[in-house]
Structure 1
Amino acid sequence: MQTFCQIDNFSILYQDDYLVAIHKPAGLLVHRSPIDKHETQFAVQITRDLIGQKVYPIHRLDKATSGLLLFALDPASARHLSDQFMQHDIQKTYQAICRGWGNESGYIDHALKYKRDKIAEKLKREQLEPQSAETAYSTLATTSVDFTIGRYEQQRYSLIELKPKTGRKHQLRRHMNHIHHPIIGDVKYGDRHHNHFFNEWLGQHRLYLAATQLEFIHPNSNQPIIIECPLESSFQYALEKLNF
């Protein structure tokens, strides 16, 4: 079985004088963290070394999530983009393979309990209260696989497009679990039986969640910009096997 953490899948998707967008492979940390002290490769350092200049992180992707990651190339652009993220003016799009068949589209408005960041300092009491969290979703495709899990001889799966309106920790993973369609490969909030089936069936271990598009206002031109990101080869392989 192969665990995906290859830098081979790392690539630059867009670059100008003010920002750079990369494809972050699943299994790669955005930056150094005391939580994963054994890791030696990080998206920030790889991008910096590749383009030969300092980069400023604007947002984060979970280590297990692949896809589009945006960096600024100067402090002013970083502030401009960070403000857009803080105001939820940047539209983020993800794709996920989920258990079951659900509605064609829907809107999840479900507050999430605040999760402490282990590298954060002291938190105010009000920060520990549940935080509003909203996610729009639409089903792109559905399929079924003849395989017995529990009392069901056939398993149903969906390819779902997700557009988070807020940016809470693990929001998409928690929201999909909340509506009983957990993301495949999610070892924290997902279904271990289906995760194990995918691992054995496909011979690869990963979270099937990918950031595929960002829409925002360019920090210098003030014009709308859309950057798209292709799915990682391991994700594409799963789609092919599922006949999506």
Structure 2
Amino acid sequence: MIEEKNMSAAKNLEILFQDEHYVAINKPHGLLVHRSKIATNTDEFAVQQLRDQLGQHVHPAHRLDRKTSGVLLFALSKEALTAIRATFENEEMEKRYWSILRGYTEPEGLIDYPLTNDKGKNQEAQTAYTTLNQTEVEVPFGKHPTSRYSWVEARPKTGRMHQLRKHFAHIFHPIIGDRPHGCNKQNKLFLDRWQMGTMLLHAVALRFIHPITKTEISISAQPQSEFIRMIDVLKFDKNLLA
């Protein structure tokens, strides 16, 4: 199915965790976290939706790209926001992502490659990854009689903008559905053959020490239906979803 511009209007957001200080949702593909000057084709935003759903103000603690799904954390007060942002900034937040990439990746690796921010400044950036599963499907691509893909778990050690997208492109295993860092020919293949137009990147888990209660918090989110459909279509091992 082609990604819908508004996937959120029909039902409430899925709440994964909530206490008096924080709330986490499973953000759908295609939903912006908040209003943006570069996205004027929607009036649906996670901040406003969650505020209306809970009946109180919420403050995003971090960001996920519009086409990335998964765990998105909000603070319920400005004090809680300041506390949790320190956790992110001090790199004390364990983040795990699932993604489907072009080609066969190494069993595991560390991508240590500086990235340039929107102000032109170089920033160090590191992403560790583990290959969960690989598949080869009988779909010709270019000079190859088949197509190969990897399902990986990524653990970014830093939090730079588009870090995973840029890092996997850097090692020549771009994320399927990514624009502009991905492979346009692969993206067209997925759109033409399987009517799949979203980016196959999912924030599967966050783990951290609650900055107020000092307890360990572990939050996980099942992938959205389109990610699961592609796991099935590409014949990955679906048992890994459990």
What range describes the TM-score normalised by the shorter chain of this pair? over 0.9
The answer for the alignment partner of 1:233 in structure 2 is 225
CA contact (8 A) 1:18 1:73 kept: yes
The answer for the alignment partner of 2:240 in structure 1 is none
1:11 pairs with 2:14: yes
Alpha-carbon offset, residue 149 of structure 1: 1.5
- Of residues 11, 23, 45, the one that matches 2:26 is 23
SS at match of 2:91: coil
Unaligned runs of 5+ in 2: 237-242
- RMSD of aligned Cα (Å): 1.2
Query: Structure 1: how far apart are the matches of 2:157 and 2:122?
Result: 16
CA contact (8 A) 1:18 1:219 kept: no
SS at match of 1:2: coil
Percent of aligned positions that are identical: 42
Query: Structure 2: how far apart are the matches of 1:207 and 1:227?
Result: 22
TM-score by length of 1: 0.92
TM-score by length of 2: 0.93
Alpha-carbon offset, residue 155 of structure 1: 0.7
- Of residues 211, 228, 243, the one that matches 2:235 is 243
Q: Structure 1 segments of 4 or more deviating over 4 A?
A: none
Unaligned runs of 5+ in 1: 117-127
Query: Structure 1: how far apart are the matches of 2:118 and 2:167?
Result: 14
Query: Structure 2: how far apart are the matches of 1:153 and 1:217?
Result: 49
- Of residues 211, 216, 221, the one that matches 2:213 is 221
Task: Output one character per residue of 1:22-80: Cα deviation in whole Å (capped at 9) or x when no partner.
Answer: 01111110001111123200000001100111101110000111111000111221111
Query: Structure 2: how far apart are the matches of 1:194 and 1:33?
Result: 28
The answer for the alignment partner of 1:35 in structure 2 is 38
After TM superposition, list the pairs within 5 Å mapping 1:96-107 onto structure 2: 96-107=99-110
Number of matched residues? 233
The answer for the alignment partner of 1:112 in structure 2 is 115
Query: Structure 1: how far apart are the matches of 2:234 and 2:3?
Result: 20
The answer for the alignment partner of 2:51 in structure 1 is 48
Letter in 2 for 1:3: E
The answer for the alignment partner of 1:2 in structure 2 is 2
CA contact (8 A) 2:2 2:191 kept: no
Query: Structure 1: how far apart are the matches of 2:218 and 2:56?
Result: 23
Query: Structure 2: how far apart are the matches of 1:63 and 1:28?
Result: 5
CA contact (8 A) 2:175 2:201 kept: yes
Task: Output one character per residue of 1:89-130: Cα deviation in whole Å (capped at 9) or x when no partner.
Answer: 1011100000000210010110012234xxxxxxxxxxx231
CA contact (8 A) 2:71 2:203 kept: yes
Query: Structure 2: how far apart are the matches of 1:194 and 1:2?
Result: 15
Task: Output one character per residue of 1:161-203: Cα deviation in whole Å (capped at 9) or x when no partner.
Answer: 0000111110000000001100000120111111111112222
Query: Structure 2: how far apart are the matches of 1:14 and 1:202?
Result: 34
SS at match of 1:213: strand
After TM superposition, list the pairs within 5 Å mapping 1:157-168 onto structure 2: 157-168=149-160
1:71 pairs with 2:74: yes
Letter in 2 for 1:164: P
Letter in 1 for 2:167: H
